[in-house]
Amino acid sequence: MKQWPHAPAHWTFQPGIYMVTAATYRRLPHLAAEERKDLFQNALFAIASEFGWELHAWAILNEHYHFIARSPGNPATLRRFISKLHMTTAKAFNREDGTPGRKVWFQYWDSQITFQRSYLARLRYVNQNPVKHGLIEVAEAYRWCSAQWFNEHAPPSLVETVKTFKIDRVKVYEPV
């Protein structure tokens, strides 16, 4: 009899580009306050750099986040990267709320992106995620996602190409 896994499998064997999604425990809006999103975003940038992951896109919402990043030579470091990110931010949130030991994060899901069209569609998906969830009308105005950064730093031809991708059919795990 095949056993059902209790957590998502993390198949980080090959270096490359990965998309990661994580949710707060019970989808509680631990990231609703601007200061929390700032803290999380700063931690994401610092810890990604520490582990050698190159961020390509990110979106931080009230109860979940997504990012796309190029792995270092050893992509298995993703587990330690996410573990440190979740531990650091959970401790900070719990300290602020006076709730030591409270479970803040649930699980994370990752997938390696191996096709260029899939990569481009997911870049658009992550950059437009705050709009998809009704947090804002224009993604570039949301300071906790990479939409504005992408428009300013990516080659103009790439920005225009990414804008042509529809995201309504992109299959991305959205924690329920």
Quick one: tokens of 17? Answer: 């580009």
| Number of domains composing the chain | 1
- DSSP string over 26-58: GG--TT-SHHHHHHHHHHHHHHHHHHT-EEEEE
Considering the domain boundaries, does residue 142 fall inside one?
A: yes
Q: Is residue 68 part of a domain?
A: yes
| Among the listed residues 25, 3, 17, the one whose alpha carbon sits nearest the alpha carbon of residue 105 | 25
* pLDDT at residue 139 greater than cutoff 90: yes
Residue 42 lies in a domain: yes
Which residues, other chains included, contact 8 with Cβ-Cβ below 8 Å and sequence gap of 6+? 107, 108, 109, 110
Confidence (pLDDT) at 6: 46
Q: How far apart are CA 44 and CA 29, in angstroms?
A: 18
The whole domain housing 94 covers 17-163
The CATH number of whichever domain residue 80 belongs to comes to 3.30.70.1290
Is residue 4 pLDDT above 50, yes or no? no
Distance CA 174, CA 176 (A): 6
Residue 12 pLDDT greater than 80, yes or no: no
